[in-house]
Amino acid sequence: MTNNELYSGLWSVLKLQIEPYILLPIAASFVLIVIVFIRAVAGPRNVIISKENCSELLSFEEPENKIERLLLSLDNAAALMLTNNENPLRLVRRHGDKVVLQTLNPSDIEPVTDQSDLISIHRQDFSHPAIKISCTVDEASTWVAILDDLSSLQLSKA
Amino acid sequence: MSLPDPVTFAIPAFVLLILLETILGRFKPKKSNYEARDSAASLFMGLGNFAIGFLNFGIVASVSSWVYQYRIFEIGYQWYAFILIFFAEDLCYYWFHRLSHEHRLWWAAHINHHSSQYYNLSTALRQTWTGGFAGTWLPWIALSLLGLPTPLIVFQKGISLVYQFWIHTEAIDKTWRPFEYIFNTPSHHRVHHATNPRYLDANYAGILIIWDRMFGSFIPEDTAEPCRYGIVKQIASFNPLVVAFHEWVALGKDVLTAKSLKGAFMFTFGPPGWSEDGSRMTSRMLKEQEIRRLQTAQSPPSE
């Protein structure tokens, strides 16, 4: 087989009849139509975070751990958890109608200074964006105290 | 010889089946679950893969053609070449796929395909953007050396990709037993996408599940333990850029902060989850932990 035959075979495999610069925008348009269709048929999918699904998630991902304290955000989009683990802080956040569990350090969290009813969690890494947990002023102050205790405990261990 | 591109021909069917599965989910949510943002991420990953494919193809085809000059056998397009390529390409796929799960460099390129917590036909299109640059095409070069023409390899890769589309679904339960024994099916592939510790690192097959049975990586789906999909450390983003690059960012961070050269090497080529201080867990460690947990749960309490 000559090289010419080989390459003509290769291009015949890839032969799309349409130039890529035309094909790609057409494909992107179809993708957008399909997404709109899926959104219209499937509807909005946002799970409501509750004590039950936090507990179920923890028992799947960390079956040896139990929830000791839980703060559900007022919009039910996230929750902060204290567990019986040596590194006890966890964040549960919604991701469509699924949930994601993150392990946090006290330094990842801080109350928003100008609003005492919000707890802010920094971006932890590339795949876990920052999030704010809305709660009552009392809950915020309780959790600030808990986080302070955890921070001091970590410092004393170090 | 002129061979068609199976993927190009299959795209309309892909779109139609995704639309049908979406409608099915409306009436039978247990059989199909679609989230528009998740599917959008998958479809844009597929589109990106298609676009990047134009760049990669030149490089891969050139290497493949160069190696073909030094072929061991003169197979060409004989009738038996089509039978040989079916098995040989699928075996290459098995090893590419297994290595992609067992070594972090290739896992960084492959993780995007597993990053969805949903399992539906759109997940099949959540294809890599970085696999070509990571050299995940290398196992197929062995086929050129064997004497299989590059267009034939490309053709069979297309057939494999098209086959693997339909197995990304919860709508089909188990199929006919002999078929389940030989071929990769939705049931086998659900296990592959599951994060349940007992299901981790299993069922790497492309078309034929026999490779997993032969090489000891087969795990059947157990209806008593439903699959939970995604990755061990789930991501919280529908952004295709995050989906495509999050593991590369994590890998880069780990290598730059490694305490030794050996650490940097192991972060790159060791199993996903390996860490210098042992604070993270590999699949093997997760499986062992689960076995210990089950044994403790089953053993009677000591008096």
- Which among B92, B123, B116, B134 has a CA at the least distance from the CA of B248? B134
Domain co-membership, A35 together with A100: no
Closest-CA residue of chain A to B232: A61
pTM of the model: 0.92
Distances (CA, A) of B206 to A141, B102, B157, B182, B184: 54, 17, 10, 11, 7
| Domain assignment present for A9 | no
> Tell me, what's the pLDDT at B29?
94
> Tell me, what's the pLDDT at A73?
94
> Tell me, what's the pLDDT at A13?
47
Q: Is A129 helix (H, G, I), strand (E, B) or coil?
A: coil
ipTM above 0.95, yes or no: no
Q: What is the pLDDT of residues B242-271, one digit of tens each?
A: 999 999 999 999 999 999 999 999 999 999
| Cβ-defined contact of A10 to B68 (cutoff 8 Å) | no
**Which secondary-structure segment (H or E) carries A153?**
helix A137-157
Tell me the nearest-neighbour CA distance from B179 into chain A, angstroms. 30
Closest-CA residue of chain B to A93: B236
Q: Which region, left, alpha or beta, applies to residue B246 given φ > 0 means left and ψ of -120 to 50 means alpha?
A: alpha
| Cβ-defined contact of B154 to A37 (cutoff 8 Å) | no
| Cβ-defined contact of A38 to B37 (cutoff 8 Å) | no
- How many cross-chain Cβ pairs, A to B, lie less than 8 Å apart? 127
| SS3 annotation, chain B | CCCCCHHHHHHHHHHHHHHHHHHHHHHCCCCCCCCHHHHHHHHHHHHHHHHHHHHHHHHHHHHHHHHHCCCCCCCCCCHHHHHHHHHHHHHHHHHHHHHHHHCHHHHHHHHHHHCCCCCCHHHHHCCCCCHHHHCCCHHHHHHHHHCCCHHHHHHHHHHHHHHHHCCCCCCCCCCCHHHHHHECCHHHHHHHHECCHHHCCCCCCCCECHHHHHHCCCCCCCCCCCCCECCCCCCCCCCHHHHHHHHHHHHHHHHHCCCCHHHHHHHHHCCCCCCCCCCCCCHHHHHHHHHHHHHHHHCCCCC
| Cβ-defined contact of B65 to A3 (cutoff 8 Å) | yes
> Tell me, what's the pLDDT at A44?
92
The segments of chain B whose pLDDT lies below 70 read: 301-303
pLDDT tens for chain A, 158 residues long, are 555 555 555 555 455 556 778 888 999 999 999 999 999 999 999 999 999 999 999 999 999 999 999 999 999 999 999 999 988 999 999 999 999 999 987 777 765 555 678 888 887 788 888 888 999 888 888 888 888 888 787 777 76
Residue A70's domain is classified under what CATH number?
2.30.29.30
| Residues of A within an 8 Å Cβ radius of B | 1, 3, 6-10, 12-16, 20, 24, 27-28, 30-31, 34-35, 37-39, 41-42, 45, 60, 63-64, 93, 95-98, 100-102, 125-129
Q: Which among B2, B117, B122 has CB closest to A12?
A: B2
Percent share of chain B, pLDDT over 90:
91
Domain co-membership, A62 together with A118: yes
| Domain assignment present for A98 | yes
Domain co-membership, A150 together with A109: yes
Domain co-membership, A86 together with A122: yes
- Look at chain A and report how many structural domains it folds into: 2
Query: CA angle, A92 as apex, A134 and A120 as ends, to 5°?
Result: 35
Whether B22 contacts B32, CB under 8 Å = yes
| Domain assignment present for A8 | no
Distance CA B203, CA B186 (A): 11
Distances (CA, A) of B89 to B41, B86, B208: 29, 6, 11
| Cβ-defined contact of B43 to A31 (cutoff 8 Å) | yes
| Domain assignment present for A6 | no
Local structure of residue A117 (DSSP, 8 states): T
> Tell me, what's the pLDDT at A158?
64
Contacts of residue A3 in chain B, CB cutoff 8 Å?
Answer: 65
| Domain assignment present for A23 | yes
| Domain assignment present for A120 | yes
Contacts of residue A104 in chain B, CB cutoff 8 Å?
Answer: none
Q: Which residues pair with A121 in a beta bridge?
A: A109, A131
Domain co-membership, A41 together with A55: no
Domain co-membership, A81 together with A128: yes
Domain co-membership, A35 together with A91: no
CA atoms within 13 A on the CB side of B189: 29
Q: Which among B8, B39, B237 has CB closest to A129?
A: B237
Chain Cα centroid distance, residue B175: 21
- Which distant-in-sequence residues (6+ apart) come within 8 Å of A14 by Cβ? B5, B57, B154
| Domain assignment present for A2 | no
Contacts of residue A101 in chain B, CB cutoff 8 Å?
Answer: 234
Q: Which among B18, B65, B155 has CB closest to A13?
A: B155
Q: Which residue of A127, A128, A131, A132 to mutate against B (max B Cβ within 10 Å)? A: A127
| Domain assignment present for A132 | yes
What single-letter amino acid sits at B103? H
Domain co-membership, A38 together with A83: no
Domain co-membership, A138 together with A61: yes
Domain co-membership, A84 together with A120: yes
- Which among B230, B161, B235 has a CA at the least distance from the CA of B192? B230
Tell me the nearest-neighbour CA distance from A39 into chain B, angstroms. 5
> Tell me, what's the pLDDT at B9?
87
Tell me the nearest-neighbour CA distance from A5 into chain B, angstroms. 8
Q: Which residues pair with A96 in a beta bridge?
A: none
Domain co-membership, A74 together with A23: no
| Cβ-defined contact of A98 to B61 (cutoff 8 Å) | no
| Cβ-defined contact of B65 to A6 (cutoff 8 Å) | yes
Tell me the nearest-neighbour CA distance from B233 into chain A, angstroms. 8
- The residue segments making up the domain with residue A36 are 16-45
Local structure of residue A44 (DSSP, 8 states): -
Domain co-membership, A34 together with A64: no
